Structure 1
């Protein structure tokens, strides 16, 4: 049964320096508050994984929390580039950032393999791209039945998987709905997991199409209303488009970003 913790307690206990950490969410239910708490607690040397790293990963990278990013696309959705990500890759500020790039299908299959207890995933993909020449973790295998050469990628088993959802009960059973990505697979693939939720209730109301994560599969849940902001949580909050637009200006300049960290009380390494 998952334990109910505060967000600060959960991050302090579950996220350790040097961990591989996945904060997953697709378009909505992005665990932004959890990512910012990682910054606040000054976690370091993290390998950050996500299919679509957006502004919360820009914040984590700019604050010096990450040494490596494993991903398949990165950007400020609907706006443009991630300037702190670019600065780290191009100028090693605030520290060098290693990158490992995959396709969306490759990343999704890596999570599925990890959740399934398999050592690797096989897919038709990467053909005609230069990714296999740039990413060591993309290999090929020959099908023993047809002789077809296929792409193979290793299972992804993060030390910590973090997602946001709408509801959980007091036993830690989680319910989420709407546009979902690989949240379920991330939790099942991870050694430890945290689900932040809009609310904790005595009993979950059945909802058609909802994903349910059983309490035995989740390490901890934390009630964090608005924990996905500026992304949205269907049924609870709307997307804050102005925040994404403002982030483009805040993140362009190193000092402007450091000032933002101080204003938000997120005293990462660059603000010491």
Structure 2
């Protein structure tokens, strides 16, 4: 059953050095607050996974938290490169990250297979794809019923899944609306999960119980972190901070400017900074 905690407690209890962790969210509801707490607690040797890793992965890699990344497409959305990720790959700074690259379809199917307790995902895809040359975890099998050649990849079953959502109720049920990616599948596939939310309410009111995306028994920790997805957006609460993504390209282009920004904006800050940033964003709008 879900346990209500503060952010520092949730990360300390659920995520250890060497764990595999999925920080999921697609365009929307990206769990920045938890990633920053992971950096503050100095976690190392993590295997991180995500569809479309963006700047929180750039930050985790640049701070030396990551040993390996399993992903499909990586970039600063709408802006360009992940510069700390590239520096790690090309120059080994601060560490040489290992990569396992997949298509979006492969990642989505792998999470779903993990949620179902299956050892691999089987789907149509990867025919003629060049990723098969560099990723030995892409295999092909023959359907025993039709003879069709199908792709197979290992299921994704992270030690910890991290997501952000709009609300949790007093029982620990989690409600998500708007654009979703594979948050539900990642949580169901994981051994443990941390869900940050904009607010905790007594109940969801007139919302149909069928709309509850994650019942409390699927969630390990629930943490109230208003603004916890900033600079991504949370539908119904705040919009995307496009200026922050543009700024990140400049900040991350240089090792010294990156280190100084992380010191000032992550290492010296707590989760309350997210609420302050969102308030500024709303005032500016």
TM-score, normalised with respect to structure 1: 0.96
- How far the C-alpha of 1:207 sits from its partner, in A, is 3.8
| 1:100 matched residue in structure 2 | 100
Distance 2:128 2:229 in 1: 36
Distance 1:26 1:212 in 2: 16
| 1:190 matched residue in structure 2 | 190
- The question of whether the paired residues in 2 share the 8 Å contact of 1:110 and 1:154 is answered with yes
- Unmatched segments (≥5 aa) in structure 1: 268-272
- How far the C-alpha of 1:128 sits from its partner, in A, is 1.4
- The question of whether the paired residues in 1 share the 8 Å contact of 2:113 and 2:119 is answered with yes
Distance 1:205 1:191 in 2: 30
Distance 1:228 1:74 in 2: 18
| 1:224 matched residue in structure 2 | 225
Distance 2:233 2:207 in 1: 19
Aligned residues: 267
| 1:154 matched residue in structure 2 | 154
Match of 1:249, SS state, is helix
Matched, 1:237 2:232: no
Distance 2:178 2:211 in 1: 8
- The question of whether the paired residues in 2 share the 8 Å contact of 1:24 and 1:162 is answered with yes
- The question of whether the paired residues in 2 share the 8 Å contact of 1:3 and 1:171 is answered with no
| 2:16 matched residue in structure 1 | 16
Label 1:210 to 1:250 Cα distance change in 2 as closer, same or farther (>3 A).
farther
- How far the C-alpha of 1:211 sits from its partner, in A, is 4.8
- The question of whether the paired residues in 1 share the 8 Å contact of 2:141 and 2:150 is answered with yes
Q: Which runs of 4+ in 1 moved over 2 A?
A: 205-211
Match of 1:257, SS state, is helix
TM-score, normalised with respect to structure 2: 0.92
Matched, 1:178 2:178: yes
- How far the C-alpha of 1:210 sits from its partner, in A, is 4.1
Distance 2:151 2:133 in 1: 13
- The question of whether the paired residues in 2 share the 8 Å contact of 1:4 and 1:170 is answered with no
- How far the C-alpha of 1:133 sits from its partner, in A, is 1.8
- The question of whether the paired residues in 2 share the 8 Å contact of 1:178 and 1:210 is answered with no
Match of 1:152, SS state, is strand
- The question of whether the paired residues in 1 share the 8 Å contact of 2:159 and 2:190 is answered with yes
Cα RMSD (Å): 1.2
Distance 2:104 2:215 in 1: 26
Could you give the per-residue CA deviations for residues 223-248 of structure 1, whole angstroms, max 9, x where no partner exists?
A: 00000000000001110000000000
